[in-house]
Amino acid sequence: MKNSLLLILLSILTLSGEQAFSANKPNPSSPPDRKWWKEAVVYQVYPRSFKDSNGDGVGDLRGIVEKLDYIKSLGIDVVWLNPVFASPNADNGYDISNYRDIMREFGTMADFDQLLRGMHERGIKLVLDLVVNHSSDEHEWFKQSRSSRTNPYRDYYHWWPAEKGKPAFRPGAFEVDGSGWRYDSLTNAYYLHYFSYKQPDLNWENPKLRKEIFDMMKFWFDKGVDGFRMDVIPFIAKDTAFPVITQKELQEKYNGDWSQYMGSGPGLHDYLKEMNREVLSKYNCMTVAEGAGVTVKTAHDFVDEERNELNMLYHFEGVSLGYLPDKFKVMDPNGYKLTEFKKIYSKWDSVFSHKGWGTIYLGNHDQPRMVTRWGNDSPQYRELSSKMLTTFLMTMRATPYYYFGDELGMNNIKFDQIEDYRDIESISMYQQIKNNGGDLKEFLDAQKISARDNSRTPFQWDASQNAGFTSGTPWIKVNTNYHTVNVAAEEKDANSVLNYFRKMVRLRKDNPVLVYGAYKLLIPENPQIYAYTRTLDNEQFLILLNFSAKKADFALGKKLNPASVLINNYPNIETNGKQVKLAPYQAVVVRMK
């Protein structure tokens, strides 16, 4: 079957002397092991920035309730909601002080129940963030834990007695000194925190702690939530001897990457299997791991069905492309190379070509805006490249995760001064660079492209004050282009980025080949065009994406039949015999057979 499909493909496509690259074998003759979460389109909502219902400048649950019909109109299946649990907001909700309560700024449990009910009435599933590598230092567990060495909650966290000396280095991502240990004088001990000192790491080696977490998960499942996105879940297991990790060992075993070390703790998969056995297996739910530290070699350990752990994960290799290796989120001045982009996403497709299931995303709350990072946010090309990137996300073999606002083509706000930032990551790194006498201008310029706050600015509903997000003062500034980039304006324009997104969602849903079909990369060395086919049974789609601001040629083996074009972000396609000339950032989906 493989050979016959290859012969058919070669008869259709002429690759201008460049060899086609087969990332994997074709799928069998019918969609294998169909699951609702494989066929879903996930829409991520950052509640703090979606819609403010009471004028305090902060988005809330009732604001989301007000806009459920809009969310439904997108055609999506699942909403991933960033944390709404009680929190002092050291890291915008990723520091939870009560797992069974709602953050006061966001509303009440009654508001949450109304939101969940409203989603289910519209056929939308709700996935919550599960943040259980760490809690807030204001959680009652930690207050008890730090009160004395003999407290029953002491072993809910990782402590190192100071009389043993300073513990071996572990990184703390949000700390000015870079350390993941914090000295606490109350009991003369250090506690572990892979992120901020306000986010102490939970001790999963303690079965009592695991039971608390599993009971909490059941609490939300019994309410009716449909799954969890699991924040840095590979980090939960620790070697509690906390041995010294030398740079040589880090390099040889973990490619110099601390996250790979932290994602390889003993007992990790025992804990995930226990979670599945005690909780997940009892519900028809969706689970996705934030795959920090996960590699192509370890991915299957999390998601293969026979392992009884999780459904899918998302990796960081793609979104890490293009940064200088020795700088904090500073882009290579030459930008990223499309050839490397294609290589990464083709590799990760091949990882799940026979087992497991993948995800695809280009933006989320931890990343800058998709169009700024991967497209072209200039006035000339913002809309076109937004549509092109949406086409990519909706035509790959993986569950697409789409970040709110990207359906409008929202782009980075690009703050000029550190005072405008609200994110703990940007603020702490600025201080670290300042303390070390580093180049602050370089850092601020880099943050215009890479900072997380670029994706956290308020959603742009209309051209009224504050983009219709709030009647008060927004918690973070609104992008000044909201007068033209907003829902109200784009609803009226049949060719808007918003309406193009809806068309792409519908195209994916109407064609199982775009969900389950085999992926095959074409012209891998072409620096402008990302071209690939999706094949299922006797159906084959060709996807052509121009990732550049220049025209680019692609050779077809036959003349293009206009009726075979299923989607196009331009009014037409320029052809010359068997040659297609793609316009800047043009995206085309063609039914080949």
The tokens describing 319, both together, are: 């979104």
Give the model's confidence band at 246: pLDDT under 50 very low, under 70 low, under 90 confident, else very high.
very high
Amino acid occupying residue 333? P
pLDDT at 23 over 70: no
Asked whether the beta carbons of 569 and 587 are under 8 A apart, the reply is yes
More confident residue, 26 or 231: 231
pLDDT at 16 over 80: no
Q: Per residue, what are the HEC states of 513-556?
A: HHHHCEEEEECCCCCCEEEEEEEECCEEEEEEEECCCCCEEEEE
pLDDT at 8 over 50: no
What one-character-per-residue DSSP string does 228-281 give?
EEETTGGGS---TT-----HHHHHHHHTT-HHHHHTT-TTHHHHHHHHHHHTGG
pLDDT at 10 over 80: no
pLDDT at 276 over 50: yes
Alpha-carbon separation of residue 51 from 64, 107, 304, 406 (angstroms): 6, 13, 38, 16
The tokens describing 77, both together, are: 């299946």
Asked whether the beta carbons of 125 and 119 are under 8 A apart, the reply is yes
Per-state percent for the chain, helix, strand, coil, to nearest 5:
35, 15, 45
Q: What pLDDT is attached to residue 32? A: 66
Mean pLDDT of all residues in 2-13? 34
Please tell me the distance from the alpha carbon of residue 362 to that of residue 349, in angstroms, as a whole number: 15
**pTM (2 decimals)?**
0.93
Mean pLDDT of all residues in 454-480? 98
Mean pLDDT of all residues in 425-430? 94
pLDDT at 48 over 80: yes
The tokens describing 163, both together, are: 């009389």
pLDDT at 128 over 60: yes
Q: Which residues belong to the active site?
A: 231, 290
- Interval 178-216: pLDDT, tens: 999 999 999 999 999 999 999 999 999 999 999 999 999
Q: What pLDDT is attached to residue 28? A: 42
- Interval 280-325: pLDDT, tens: 999 999 999 999 999 999 999 999 999 999 999 999 999 999 998 8
pLDDT at 3 over 80: no
pLDDT at 498 over 90: yes
Mean pLDDT of all residues in 267-283? 98
The tokens describing 405, both together, are: 């606002």
- Interval 547-588: pLDDT, tens: 999 999 999 888 888 889 999 999 999 998 888 999 999 999
More confident residue, 10 or 454: 454
More confident residue, 15 or 203: 203
* Lookup result for tokens 């050839």: 339
b/e map 277-288, b = 16+ CB within 10 Å: ebbbeebebbbb
Give the model's confidence band at 260: pLDDT under 50 very low, under 70 low, under 90 confident, else very high.
very high
Alpha-carbon separation of residue 120 from 72, 78, 111, 340 (angstroms): 11, 10, 14, 41
Give the model's confidence band at 249: pLDDT under 50 very low, under 70 low, under 90 confident, else very high.
very high
Please tell me the distance from the alpha carbon of residue 511 to that of residue 356, in angstroms, as a whole number: 21
Give the model's confidence band at 25: pLDDT under 50 very low, under 70 low, under 90 confident, else very high.
very low
* Lookup result for tokens 């060719």: 495
Q: What pLDDT is attached to residue 30? A: 60
Strands 227-230 and 565-568: unpaired
Give the model's confidence band at 326: pLDDT under 50 very low, under 70 low, under 90 confident, else very high.
confident
Give the model's confidence band at 12: pLDDT under 50 very low, under 70 low, under 90 confident, else very high.
very low
Mean pLDDT, the chain, as a whole number? 93
The number of C-alpha atoms within 13 Å of 135 and in the hemisphere containing its C-beta is 22
Mean pLDDT of all residues in 38-42? 97
Amino acid occupying residue 214? F
